[in-house]
Structures are given as C-alpha cells and as structure tokens.
Structure 1
Amino acid sequence: MNVILAIKQYISKMIEESGPGMKVLLMDKETTSIVSVVYAQSEILQKEVYLFERIDAGGRETMKHLKCICFLRPTRENVQLLAEELRMPKYGLYYIYFSNVISKQDVKVLAEADDQEVVREVQEFFGDYIAVNPQLFTLNITGCYQGLNWSQNALKRTVQGLTSVLLSLKKCPMIRYQNSSEMARQLAENVRQTISKDAALFEFRKTDVPPVLLILDRRDDAVTPLLNQWTYQAMVHELLGIYNNRINLSNVPGVSKDLQEVVLSAEHDEFYANNMYLNFGEIGTNIKELMEDFQSKSQSHAKVESISDMKAFIENYPQFKKMSGTVSKHVTVVGELSRLVGKQNLLEVSEAEQELACQDDHSASLQKIKSLLSNDKVTQLDMLRLVMLYALRYESHSNNDVSGLVETLKRKGISDKHRTMVSAILEFGGRKARGSDLFGSQDPVAFTKKLFKGLKGVENVYTQHKPLLHSILDQLIKGKLKEAAYPYLGTSQLKDRPQEIIVFYIGGTTYEESLSVLQLVKSSPGVRIILGGTSVHNLKSFLEEISTAHQGHTPSQISSRR
C-alpha cells in the first residue's frame, strides 16, 4: 500500500500506452497538482513528454506532430472543454484518461465531438487525490463543514477521492466509522453506495483478512492541529507552509532569487527523505554533516589540474550540481526555521502547549499563558493558539479564566473576528462535540522532558503529545477498538485483527498523525496503514476550517509578524 507508487504507475502507463514519439500532457488545475507532486518535470521529459498544457488555458498552439495525453478529472466543465478541443483538434492523436469514473452520457458527448477520429483511447485511471508521502494522501479541501454538517460539494468530492484511493490500491474494505459523528456516518454510507453501484470495479482478489476503512472526524481531536511541531516536515508546514510539496521562501530575509520557491519531495531529495521525521535538533546535526560532505567534495573538485581531473568533474557534474542545490535549499529552510524559533520564542510557547495537552495543572498553565501573552516576542497567532488550547483543556474547570484571556487578546490588538475563534473551537471540538475522552487518559507521571541535541540555541522542549489517532489505531490493531464507538457499516464484522488499514480524517489530518502512523507500523509487524484527510493542516488552515464550520466564511489573514 503506497499511494505515491499507485499514482506514478498510472502516469507511466498513460505515457507508455501512446507509444514512441513526442507528446504533450494536457491537464486541468487539479490533475496538474496530482502529477507534479509525484513526478519531477525532468523525469517526465525523459519519457518524451515535451510540453505541459492546461485544458482551460486559451491560445494554445496547434502542433499536429504531437500526440496528446489528456489526464483530467471527469467534471462537467472538463468534458465540455475536451469536446470543444476534439471538434478542432490541436494535436495529432488523443489518448484520454479520466481520474475517476466517467458517465456513459459524457463518453457519448466526447464520441460525438470526435468528427476527425483523433481519439485512440478513453480510460479511467483512479488517481483522483494528492499523494503527499507513500502513506499519506490529501484531497486539498479546506472548508468541508458547512455549519457543522457536510458542505454537499465537499462530500461529493470526498467520496470521489476516497473511492479512487481504494481503487488505485485495489482494496474493497470493510467500513468502520466514528459513531459520535453524523458526518462520518454519512461519508461511510456514501462510500458504501459507490462501491455497490460500481461493484464490478471493486472485484479484487480476496485476502484472508479484508482491509478496513476507518472514517474519523477532526472534531474528536481539535488539539493536534493546534500544536507547534518539532519534526522537519511538520515544522516546515507549521512555520512556512507546504502546498503540493512547494514552499514559498520569498519572505525570508536575504534569500537568493533561485530559492524563493523550493520543492521538498522525499521522492527526489534523499536528504529530505532521511530527515523529514527527525526532530529539529537532529536535523541541525545532519545538515552540518551534509555541508561538510559537500565542502570536502567541492574542494577535491577545485583541483582540476589535468584532463582526467576535468573528465572526472564533468562526469560527476550533474550529481555535484544536484548536491549543491540540495545543500543550499536545506540550509536556507533550516536557517529560517531556526530564526523563527528564536524570534517568536517558540520553545517556551511549545512547552506551554504541551503542558496544556498532556498535563492537568490549571494554575501553573494559566500563569504560564498570562506570562507568554505579555511577551512581545510571541506572535498573535501563537497567543490565539495558546488561549484556544486552554479553552479546550479547561472548558469545565470551575476556575477557568477563558473570558479573562480573551480580554487580554483584545488588549493585544487581536481582532473581534479572531477572538471569536476561542468560542468557535469549543463549539467545533469541545466536550459536547467529542465522542472520545480526549484528555482523561493522559498520565502526568509519564510526562517527560526530551532534550533536543545538536543544534545550537535549541535547549529543552516538550514533545510528549500523542494524537488521539495513535490510541485509536493501537486499539484497532490489537482488535480492541470498541464497536459501540466505531461501528461497522452493515452486518459483517472482522473476526481477525486487521492487517491493512486506510484511515480518513474528515476536516483534515496533520503531519504529526502521519508520524504516529509510521511509528505504529514500525512497532506492528505485518500491519500496513495509509492515512488521508480532506486536507493536511497547519494552524492557519485549521483556523479556516473552524471558521467555515462556525459561520460559513473564511477568516482574513492573522498577523503572525513573520
């Protein structure tokens, strides 16, 4: 079960089926993202694809010598655009692939438009999602809650994306869902109806133990997306933002032009692949080693004194250039993370967050938050984050001071709209919204400080929090997940412990949960888990999600003084 591999195989097959010769790849906005996340442009160029075009872009040239591979989502708009294209074809031959099931009616529309008989192939390839890591996918939907119910467009898109994941992995699962969430039940029902309707597509070879699809609702754990992160991939997303593997560094002081936008992809960057789940201190050590390795190699290349030296340099040049690019990219990214950690007092902020998430010491936490709210280094975003965490943690505490803290936010210049996020988080993920005991199972005695080592200026920080997902999956793997809380859809039940699990989070998942999945897989031989969500959140996108759920609109940008 590897979602990156599943999508890559589809794309390779599309390109190979058109045979030798020069090709153009014609996509829409979403399929462009689906392809670019798993394939570097240089890799596709090696497969004789010389041009990448968008079907909705005007003014494309006619190039009859090119074969056209179309990879499109089966939307009404795309079908109309493709029908217009086929009436006046710009390319020699067309090989058409839809990322999901297309209706017979739409195929008929295309057939009628193909007067010049340029279409050689129409197929469904189920790559209708973004494969972020081998075990993590997203649908890039923020705002799936309308009020606290499904937005109908988001529900439809989620069903399409989730069934396409199942088809691409060739799985026909038993479905379990979070019983406290009506949205989880609705999604489970819709996925089952799609599987029944397209039963022929889901006829895969039966395994001894059927896979399980587990559908969860973000509202059951609103704490995880609120926390600052300390592993590389999660930290980059939290502080800089990752979208389709791209990071915008244009605001970094003194950044060079070629590093204003960088790509972080474990598929194409060995250093990132080896470090994405390590903590910040370890990355500091590893980046130092990467630089030293590069410097020693570049010094040996500096001695180009003979023809054989020159030959050796030219032979190694692509590798050398690639390594140079990798070093400068990661030094820039880690340097910026390090700057922000110091500038925004993030070690102290994170320590307070972790205590709120994992301990139960009301007066100590309240004092620490008040002290941080009076600290000018702490950003508005982090102030809001702390007060929201406090509100969730001490919602029913007799001495809670949520109103006092919200008043302090007002004095610090945080707008009305953003202060309402404190009450919005309680409506979204407070005690009444949850089906689980989010805080009750924490053991303060087990709470320990972990020493970050290696990077100068990083001292102690708490990294104790484990997402609720960790215990849910742990129970599922051991066959102990309560059926009353997570019922099966339909009458059949799993007799054995599951070996293949696909988890999906309505309302978005996080890189911290992705790390938890990885840890569980390592400690559970024979178990494979894929995690997905409507989106992959950092705090900013999570605030948007809560805002739409709360009042049906998106918040304006919060000043984070970055």
Structure 2
Amino acid sequence: MNVVTALKFYITRMTEDSGPGMKVLLMDKQTTSIISLLYSQSEILMKEVYLFERIDTAAHNDTLKHLTCIVFVRPTKENIDLLCKELRYPKYGVYYIYFSNIIAKADIKLLAESDEREVVREVHEFYADYLAINPHLFSLGINACSEGLTWDPVHLHRTVQGITSVLLSLKKCPYIRYQHSSDMAKRLAEKIREVLSKESNSFEFRQESNPLLLIIDRRDDPVTPLLNQWTYQAMVHELLTINNNRVNLSHVKGISKELKEVVLSAEHDDFYANNLYLNFGEIGQTIKELMDEFQKKAKKHQKVESIADMKHFVETYPLFKKLSGTVSKHVTVVGELSSLVEKHNLLYIYILSFCLQLQKIKALIGNQKVRDVDTVRLVMLYALHYEKHASNDINGLVELLKKRNVSDKYIKLVYNILEYSGVNTRQSNLFDREAVAKITKKLFKGLSGVDNIYTQHCPLINETLEDLIKGRLSTQAFPYLGNMIMSRRPQDTIIFMIGGTTYEESLAVYNLNKQNPGIKIILGGTTIHNFKSFAEEVHHATSGILMRYKIGKN
C-alpha cells in the first residue's frame, strides 16, 4: 500500500499509452496539483510532454494538430462542459481522455456527441483523485470541511470521491468502521458504503489481506494541531507552510532570487527524504554533515590541473551543482526555522503547553516578544484542559488577550475551540493528569540534556491504531458499519481524519508501520494542518452555532 506508487503508475500509463511523439497535458487546477506533487517538470518532459495547459484557461487562438493531447481532469460538471467545448472545436490532433474518478455514463454520452470530428482515441477512468504527500499519507486539499459542526455538502461529496479514488487506486474493498461519537464520521461511512454498493463491479478485487477503512474525527483530538511540532517536515509546515511541496521564503531578509520559493519533495530530494522525520535537535547535525561533504567536493573541484581533471570535472559537475543547490536550500530553511524558534521562544512555549501553569501563561501573554498566535494557542489549550474546573480563569486570560490587542477573531477561537471540541464532544480523555505530570517532568529534565524534549507528545491516533493492531479497539466506540464484523485483525488499514490531519500524526503512522512488519497503515485527511489552517477549520466549523460561551462571561 503506497499512494505515491499508485498514482505514479497511472500517470506513467497516461504518457505511455498515448503513443510516441510530442504531447500536451491538459489539466484542471486540482489535477495540476496532483501531478506536480509527484513529478518535476523535467521528468514530465522526459515523457515527451512539452506543453502544459489548464482546461479552464486554455486559449484557442491557434491549432496545434501535430500534438497529441492527454486530458487529465476531475469528472466535474464544469470540466465536462469545458471538454465538450474543446471537442467541438479541437485545438490538437488527437485526444486521450483520463478522468481522475468514476465518470457517469450520461457524461460519456455528452462527450461522444460533442466529438463530431472523431478526435478522441480513448477514454479511461484512472483513479488519481487525491494528493499523495508521502507513501503512507494523502490529503484531499479541503480546507474547512464543515459549517455549523456538520458537513458542507460540497465537501462531503468531494471527500467521498477522494476516498473512493484511494480505495480503487490501491485495489481495496474494505470493511468500514467509524467513530461513534461523530455524526460526520457516520455520514461519511454511509456515503462510501453507497458507492461500494452502487459501483460493486469496480470493487471486485482479489484480496489476500483484510482491508479496513477507519473514519475518525479531528474533534476528538484538538490538542495535536495546537502544539508546535518538532520534526523537519512538520516544523517547515508549522512555521513556514508547505503548499504542494513548495515553501515561500520571500519574506526572509537578504534571500537570493533563486531561494525565494523552494521545493521540498521526498521524491526529488534525497536529503529531505532521509531527514523529514528527524527532530529539530538532530537536523542541525545532519545539516553540518551535508555542509562538510559539500566543502570536500568543492575543494576537489578547485583542483583542475590536467586533461583528466577537466574530464572528471565535466562529468561530475551536474551532481556537484545539484549538491550545491541542496545545501543552499536546506541551510536556508533550517536557518530560518532556528531563527523563528529562538526569536519567538517556541521551545519554552511548547513546554508550557504541557504544564499549563496559569501564572506562567499570564506572564507570557504580557511578553511582547511572544507572537499573538502563540499566546492564543496556549489559552486554547488551557481552556480545553480546565473547561470543567470550577476555579478556571479562562475569562481572565481572555481579558489579558484583549489588553494585548489580539484580534477579535483569534480571541473568539478560545470559545470556538470549546464548541468544536469541548469535553462533552470528545470520545477520549485527552487530559490524563498522571500522564501530563510524567510528561512535564520529562520535559524539564530534557532542558538539561537528559531526555529528548522534542518528541514527548503522542497524538491520540497512535493509541487508536495500537488498539486496532492488538485487536482491542472498542466496537462500541468504533462500530462496524452494517454489522459486517471482521473475523481477523486487519493487515491493511486506511485511516481517514475528517477535519484534517497533521505531519505529527503522519510520523506516528510511519513509526507504527516500521514497528509492525506485515501491517500496513495509510493516513488521509481532508487537509494537512498547521495552527493557522486549524484555526480556520475551527472558525468555519463553529460559524452559525449559538455559542454557549460568551466573550467576557461564563
């Protein structure tokens, strides 16, 4: 089970099955993102694709009949209409059409009627309708999937399509379990079962393993996206934001033109692939080793004294140049991460996120070196932890945020998070006092170098999956849909988180896969969160809700 391999197989098939010769790739906005995550432009060029067009913006000024057009689009009404228009007045010689998901027969009929000049050679369904982030991690790119704590119908439909595509691309027809406390999880499970039933012919696979689809809700663990994250990939997303493998560094003072936007792709960057799960304490050492290797090679390149030296230089220069680019990129990124951690006191804030001592939080709110965003996330964590404590001072902390002139939208988040994920909503006990005390003790030990302080938080998903692997996941808390109970423990599990997942949870799944040979787990989410996107998720989800908590009142 590897979502990157699954999607690459489809894209290779598209470029090879359309025959030899010059090709154009005609995509929509979403399929452009799907492909750009997997292939660099130079790799696509090697597949004889020399032109890239968007179906929604393509100009029809001139015809290019010598080109074969590979169409790769989502089967939406808008795309069908645009494709019908394209086929009525074809710009290219022949067309090979690939839909990223199941296409309705009525839409195929519309396309056939529009193809009056018979330019279409083939039409296929290639199930590549999701973003493959890592081999075990996918996203649907849906920000803020709910409103009023229920599904936005458009996002529900897109989520059903995305998960269907994952199942078809991995050739899995799974049993379905869902989080009992979540109406959204149950509704999504039922919608997916409808598709499995309606499209049963497409799901007739020979299955050697017992696959399971487990649907869970972000609202059961609001803590993980509220904490700073400390592995390389997670830190970059938290502090700089990764958008389709791209990171914008244009705000960095004195940044060179070529580093204003960098690509971080495990498929094309060996250093990133080997280090994305290393924590902040380890990444500094690996950067130093990378620098040392580069300096040794740079010295060798300076010694060009003979014809043999020149020949060697010419042969190795592309690799040297690539290494030079890798060094520049990662030294810049890690340097910026280090600067932000130090400048905004992020390690101390992380420690305080566990002990949540009221006086220390108050002092931090008064510290102007600390970012507004970090004061708010601490108060949100405090509110979640002490919501039911009679002596809590949630309102006192909110008043301090107001005095600090934190924006109203951020202040409201303190109450929004209680509506979104308060104690009455959560299925699990996130704040086991004994466990928190142990973690806090470890953290303060870690400051003097005794323990690794970057990996103390264990997301709830880890516990859920460990229970599943050991065969003790409660069927009351996570019932099977339609009483179809598995007789054996699942070997292949696709776990999907409504409301978005995080890179920290991706790391937990990666480690569980490593620790349990023979067990394969893939994690998906409506999106991949950092604090900023999670704040938007909470804000949208609670919009239109009659708030039980009022600003300035209990």
Amino acid at match of 1:226: L
Deviation at 1:484, TM superposition (A): 0.4
Q: Distance in 2 between matches of 1:125 and 1:286?
A: 40
Look up the match of 1:502: 494
Look up the match of 2:33: 33
Alignment of 1:126 onto 2:127:
yes
Q: Distance in 2 between matches of 1:256 and 1:452?
A: 35
Look up the match of 2:540: 548
Look up the match of 2:191: 190
Is the CA contact 1:354–1:463 (under 8 Å) kept in the aligned structure 2? Answer: no
Alignment of 1:247 onto 2:239:
no
TM alignment of 1:55-454, pairs within 5 A: 55-60=55-60, 61-207=62-208, 209-356=209-356, 365-440=357-432, 443-444=435-436, 446-447=438-439, 448-449=442-443, 451=446
Amino acid at match of 2:394: V
SS of 1:176's partner is strand
Amino acid at match of 2:28: D
User: Structure 1 pair 34/511, CA: closer, same or farther in 2 (3 Å)?
Assistant: same
Deviation at 1:522, TM superposition (A): 1.6
Look up the match of 1:557: none
Look up the match of 1:20: 20
Amino acid at match of 1:525: P
SS of 1:551's partner is coil
User: Structure 1 pair 408/495, CA: closer, same or farther in 2 (3 Å)?
Assistant: same
Q: Distance in 2 between matches of 1:176 and 1:33?
A: 30
Is the CA contact 1:62–1:90 (under 8 Å) kept in the aligned structure 2? Answer: yes
Deviation at 1:219, TM superposition (A): 0.6
Q: Distance in 1 between matches of 2:514 and 2:170?
A: 21
Q: Distance in 2 between matches of 1:332 and 1:69?
A: 38
TM-score by length of 1: 0.94
Deviation at 1:491, TM superposition (A): 2.2
Amino acid at match of 2:48: E
Look up the match of 2:551: none
Q: Distance in 2 between matches of 1:174 and 1:259?
A: 46
Look up the match of 1:360: none
SS of 2:382's partner is helix
SS of 2:329's partner is helix
Q: Distance in 2 between matches of 1:162 and 1:340?
A: 37
Q: Distance in 1 between matches of 2:227 and 2:270?
A: 28
TM-score by length of 2: 0.95
Q: Distance in 2 between matches of 1:28 and 1:492?
A: 38
Q: Distance in 1 between matches of 2:311 and 2:55?
A: 45
Alignment of 1:535 onto 2:527:
yes
SS of 2:482's partner is coil
Deviation at 1:352, TM superposition (A): 0.7
Deviation at 1:334, TM superposition (A): 0.3
Is the CA contact 1:140–1:534 (under 8 Å) kept in the aligned structure 2? Answer: yes
Is the CA contact 1:354–1:464 (under 8 Å) kept in the aligned structure 2? Answer: no
Amino acid at match of 2:408: D
Is the CA contact 1:281–1:452 (under 8 Å) kept in the aligned structure 2? Answer: no
Q: Distance in 2 between matches of 1:90 and 1:335?
A: 48
Identity of aligned residues (%): 62
Pick from 469, 475, 478: which aligns with 1:486? 478
Q: Unaligned regions of 5+ residues in structure 2, if any?
A: 546-554
* Number of corresponding residues: 541
Is the CA contact 2:355–2:437 (under 8 Å) kept in the aligned structure 1? Answer: no
Deviation at 1:420, TM superposition (A): 0.8
SS of 2:483's partner is coil
Q: CA RMSD in A?
A: 1.7
Deviation at 1:523, TM superposition (A): 1.6
SS of 2:262's partner is strand
SS of 2:159's partner is helix
User: Structure 1 pair 45/453, CA: closer, same or farther in 2 (3 Å)?
Assistant: farther
User: Structure 1 pair 442/65, CA: closer, same or farther in 2 (3 Å)?
Assistant: farther
User: Structure 1 pair 163/441, CA: closer, same or farther in 2 (3 Å)?
Assistant: farther
Is the CA contact 1:231–1:277 (under 8 Å) kept in the aligned structure 2? Answer: yes
Q: Distance in 1 between matches of 2:355 and 2:516?
A: 29
Alignment of 1:514 onto 2:506:
yes
Deviation at 1:317, TM superposition (A): 1.7
Q: Distance in 2 between matches of 1:451 and 1:243?
A: 33
Look up the match of 2:51: 51
342-351 or 122-131: bigger deviation: 342-351
Q: Unaligned regions of 5+ residues in structure 1, if any?
A: 357-364, 554-562
Deviation at 1:445, TM superposition (A): 5.6
Deviations 1:44-93 (Å, cap 9, x if unpaired)?
11111111111111425421111000000000110111111111111111
Look up the match of 1:359: none
Q: Distance in 2 between matches of 1:108 and 1:444?
A: 61
